[in-house]
Structure 1
Amino acid sequence: IYMYTLEILICACDACKTVTLHVPSKLDAEKFVGRVNLRECLKSANLIHSSDADFQVLEDGSVYTTNAVLFSSEKRHFTISLSNSENHEEKKMHVLLEHQTKIEALQQSHPKEKVLRRAKRRWAPIPCSMMENSLGPFPLFLQQIESDAAQNYTVYYSISGPGVDQAPLNLFYVERNTGNLFCTGPVDREQYPSFEIVAFAATPDGYHPEFPLPLLIRIEDENDNYPIFTNSTYIFTIAEHSRVGSTVGQVCATDKDEPGTLHTQLKYSILQQLPASPTLFFMNPTTGVITTTTSQLDREVLDKYQLKIKVQDMNGQHFGLQTTATCIICIEDVNDHLPTFTRPSYVASVEENTVDVEILRVSVEDKDLINTANWRANYTILKGNENGHFKIVTDPKTNEGVLCVVKPLNYEERQQLTLQIGVVNEAPYYRETTSRSAMSTATVTVNVKNQDEGPECSPPVQTVRIKENAPVNTKSPGYKAYNPDTQSSSDIRYKKINDPKGWITVDENTGSITTFRNLDREAESIRNGVYNVTILATDKVGRTCTGTLGIILEDVNDNGPVILKKTAIICKPTMSSTAIVAFDPDDPVNGPPFQFSLEEDSDADAQRVWALTKINDTAARLSNQNDLPFGPYTVRVRVTDRHGLSHTTPLNVIMCDCITENDCTFRGVPRTGTGEFRLGKWAILAILLGIALLFCILFTLVCGTAGAAKTPKAFPDDVTQQNLIVSNTEAPGDDKVYSANGFTTHTVGSAGAGACGTVGSGVIHAGQETIELVKGHQTLDSCRGGGQHTREPCGAGPVEVDRGRYTYSEWRSFTQPRLGEKVQLCNQDDGHEHAQDYVLTYSYEGQGSAAGSVGCCSERQEDDRLDFLDHLEPKFRTLAEACVKR
């Protein structure tokens, strides 16, 4: 008998041993070869790979042939790789097939010895399966188990495992003599997807010529389970006027049938919408995501829709099983309706010298959802209240505007006043509009009535001093009025009519005050440490006057300094620190100088990563000592006032890749629009001014190298600021300033103060002339008619250009971003329109030109890049046509 020896050498493991198996010279496909104990070499191997495609190794160490193998040489070997993906441990097993001859002596007189001397062989596994929920007839024949030893010996078969002698019991049995395997009843795959039983073959005398055969009985799936929605009713919410394709929500269903088959391939759909027309929603058949098909959802028309949805297996085929559910979509309100006054004008009257009285109520109409921020009104007085006599507030119950008198009127000074009031919602209007166009207005005429003069409250404002946190029932002189006839205060009675916080009581006879609660100087609405109480003085006949008692609250150090700005941005390319400012609501005598320190309970590395440097009494600089990656960090800073009272503030420090803080703040804002990109007026002006500046720089470079005998050319300053400070490095020169048409120019060697500050940073060298872009802080009050705007300095590191060797595009990319922000804010009038002066673009003519550029009329236009002039506004078309040769 010719046999091969399968010798497995397990290396790199002390627990491994050499295993020798005997196999025939010819092996059929899917034939069992032998088994090795993989756990002895690598206990937790989860990846097993054979280097020879003709052999495969299972998790239990069984080696099978994948193809028919015929051994033509004496030796054949391959490698089994074992690895654990969790701890990255790897082992290798070298498999050697070696041919050898073995003669087995057969003893006729001793058959038992003959059987015992015979080498054991593996019998091949037999694929086996059955359908779930089979209708029989039972017992149902599944497979025949047959041993090769049955050709020469009497063999009895038996099985063991789940379904036999383990639960469920007696589901399978095998005929002892034939090896026929039967099933006694139907099986539910969802309960038992497979059975792993073991088959045995034995001779009548108890000898096992074969190793136990692992046999897998797989239960084939039947589509007997309906797909089930995770909820019987889904409730989703979406805002009205949402864009087309906005996600409403997602539904999900499960199916107990076998995954990866058509039995669990689900398809979603909408069966019905109530109301049916128009169709507003779409459901993705694969994911179950519901989206909008229109942007015309209007809560004021209908605030709720109901969908009947369906899920069906078999990929939605008509014979698939299906289930339905209900989906309710609620339309959320947005502020798409403006409040409007019910009347265009109102008339009210009030007696002079009265205060804190309601004189008028106005009402508005709003179709948005009641009692929401989209419906609640905010009233304001637009005109006519320059002296502060009136205020208007919203009644939260009725949403009406209540107009009150807060400062007494004098009939002798003015008998009638006209007010203009406006109203908006608490929530902003959902469309982008200006404040006036989104505001309804009305006119109120207030008639002032005359009354007899009563007691005189003079001076109208009187003050007393009380320490804050003074004990309750602390008494102090109060307000004093007098009778102008008798110049006496004996018959005058006092009453407080406005005590905002209810802190005091007023003695009726003397006007003195007594504290009713603890006083707090830093309380909300307290300005400059003064608490105002309005006092009403009444004489014998009932005539009155009102005065204000200002209680000066003397400060007590009861508040620690705090850092108001909780978020700090550090633009990593340009700076490694940020300034933090602390504020103490207490009086300055109990405030700065402050001491800044890192909190001890911060991160363990805080002292190493961050450092605090004092700038002045109220500010410090937080510096990053390590090269931290971009992202947010939390730094706890303790600030202590001069008397030792402190407060700890957690700062959110953002390391950002930006030039200015605004770049970091707005970089993540998505662009909006219809997909069409158009340059605005300020962007066009920025491009033109940037190209004009480029021309000036190139003109200077060319003229600086033409020779010392030529007259130095004057550089025009930046229109918005004197960004270019030109100096002659050969020798100091006289400062000369020339002004023409509103442009300030400096000759080479001069410098002047700009009208709008400076932008950028860096130095550009060309020949012997130096152009410095000075970094600084810019205030736009001098450039614009109204408002105050501050631009943060923006700058990059030094940029050196040697004799114009950089191209036009490189110069333009350097100068345009730094001048774009300036142009957008400067050179515009009160209406935010361009000034009459405008800057043309010039072409860069390259290195070596002795004469320099001649401007927009040059014949060399291949580098002008003026195609963007085709998109200018109409008032610039004539200028563009005059400067570009068609």
Structure 2
Amino acid sequence: MICIFIYACDACKTVTFHVPSQLDAGKFVGRVNLEECLQSPDRIRSSDADFRVSEDGSVYTASAVLFSSAKRHFTISLSNAQEHGDQKIQVLLEHQTQALQPSHPEEKVLRRAKRRWAPIPCSMMENSLGPFPMFLQQIESDTSQTYSIYYSISGPGVDKAPLNLFYVERNTGNLFCTGPVDREQYDSFELVAFAATPDGYHPEFPLPLKIKIEDENDNYPIFTNSTYIFTVAEHSRVGATVGQVCATDNDEPGSLHTLLKYSIVQQLPAAPTLFFMNPTTGMITTTTSQLDREVLDKYQLNIKVQDMNGQHFGLQTTATCVIYIEDVNDHLPTFTRSSYVAFVEENTVDVEILRVSVEDKDLINTANWRAVYTILSGNENGHFKIVTDPKTNEGVLCVVKPLNYEERQQLTLQICVANEAPYYRETTSRSAVSTATVTVNVKNQDEGPECVPPVQTVRIKENAPVNTRSSGYKAYNPDTKGSSGIRYKKINDPKGWITVDENTGSITTFRNLDREAESIRNGLYNVTILATDEVGRTCTGTLGIVLEDVNDNGPVILRKTAVICKPTMSSTEIVAFDPDDPANGPPFTFSLEEDSDRDARRAWGLTTINDTAARLYNQNDAPFGPYTVRVRVTDRHGLSSVTPLTVMVCDCITEDDCSLRGLARTGAGDFRLGKWAILAILLGIALLFCILFTLVCGATGAARKPKPLPDDLTQQNLIVSNTEAPGEDKVYSTNGFTHTVGGAGTGARGTMGPGLIHGGQETIEMVKGHQTLDSCRGPGQHHVLEACGPGRVEVDTCRGAHSEWRSFTQPRLGEVRFPEPPARPPIPPQLPT
């Protein structure tokens, strides 16, 4: 026994424990009153890893401890996070070398006492009937002979759930139980017994006290399922696994109460016995290899499980096990007849001519039952096929390629049948496969004419003379292999070029044949011919007339307009096309026509790019405008044609940007005004009338009140303006004499009549006073402007008026800027007609 002395237990002071020289792991060392040092500590730590401290202050060894010296100490740290408290208790361990001191100081004799403080085995039967409280045992310390000892216990069943199930008498140490216990809920209780003197001294270690609850066989074994369903293949070997059953028992494991035994109580049908159940594992296996689904496809077993290793007084439970026999392909399909006869008319296809049936005992609508038919021989030319009807499992023999009575009147087929699934035995001889013979008789059919081949061709030169005769289309009678009695008729002649001889099928040209005609592709012209025999049966064929090319078309330039954008380019590419066959086409020769405009011949030149294209280039710096150049293109055989080519020389970046601003050259020195040019002229005329009207009105006012004119009369010119309204910087004087538009300097303003243009701004001054503008009195006369001050200004407006006006306005008309018209779409190539 280990004796422990506690010399001090004051709050937060050193606590001394006397211990033996060696302590095992988990041994109780002593108890420290933690609450006197810190109330409700939420964290307790030991500075020595060999010792641990529980919440009630009990100190235990965490591992085996061997004292190498007489003393050892460590610190217990207490902390409370809410109260921010932190305390420490010093624990001193001293190696015990003396016997216990007696409780009375006057007794000086040292004696060794006998000790009986050790775990005592204790148990009780579950579901005990009492009476309660029921005495279990007495715990007693040998120190009770020397000290007055009080006993107490703690742990589950005392101060932990279930509460108050056990208690101990304080003075005697008698342990009692207050009620029955279910072992399946609590199989044991781990209690701790304490022995203390009235003054709190613990002369003994706390005693671990385990109370074991003895098991009673009060639980039936229970199957995991009330009904088990298993499947096993028919013809399985002996000992093949069918399935396994399992049961559980809540009684004490490892005892007879949970030692289970399985058995088969009954098999339905009873005989013969086919299954065996292992009594220990519950595994069900086969006892024979004669399971046959075709005989019986389901068995039922009534099974039992019993504890106490199957003894008659053990508790037992039953369940049901259903075993299904799984089908395997152990029966081959067999034909119901060994031979069949079928009939089919010649020239028929995709028709059913025969159905054959088989017998199979395997499970219906499974791969073991579904039949697969095969033609073994007699179908070398592929006239037949045999398929399976999925509903009836019959074999359906069909004709997929027409038969010819004249070639063969009877055929013999050999067919066989098997299942989709392989036979359950690995090796099966070919003789075991069921076969049958099918005799197919071909019926003769009165056939109509045959258009063979369906497409026939003849060759005729294009532009051949009308009434040119050629061989045509031929149909045949399959019975006679001749064409006697067959009539021909055309049913589609797109251009009406030919006629067909009714008796012979030959053709005669009705019009000139043109290989380059529209809808003729690759020189082939198709005519559909209908052939009819004497009884009205028909066939249809196609006669392809191959039109042999004749060099009857000269090459032409499809694009009649070319654009040269200066200064980015000085030439343009022209491409020629010849509708004739390539043998009568490229390479082409390009040249300028002799009757071209002389200026054009001097200005333009040609260089060859490839067989079908040439480059037209400008030999000198031709001004902007349109030019007509006639280009002759000649094919390899000398046939040529002339194409008038319009070349537009423009100030542009791309061809789509080319615009002559309304001017297009139309002939020898003639010009045609564009819509924008006409609009500009109309606006100029309107502006001119407004100026003249203002001038006349101003002259009338000037006669009444003369006003001197400025000296810069020479700048009085009328020009076209695109300004439709005054800008924001227009200024009007309040006296009505001066109106200025724009920001031009006043020193450069016009001084006469309607206005003057300065840098794109318009300045108009209205002169009020005694100005007079006399009308022209004849050629050579002058208009006279009367000024307010001395002197007068004369403007010669009649002599040379037209020439001066033209010379002034013509250069400035080019300065007029109007919105550019939308870009013209590219000119599509013109195909020859």
TM-score (norm 1): 0.43
Determine which structure has more spread, i.e. the larger CA radius of gyration. 2
TM-score by length of 2: 0.45
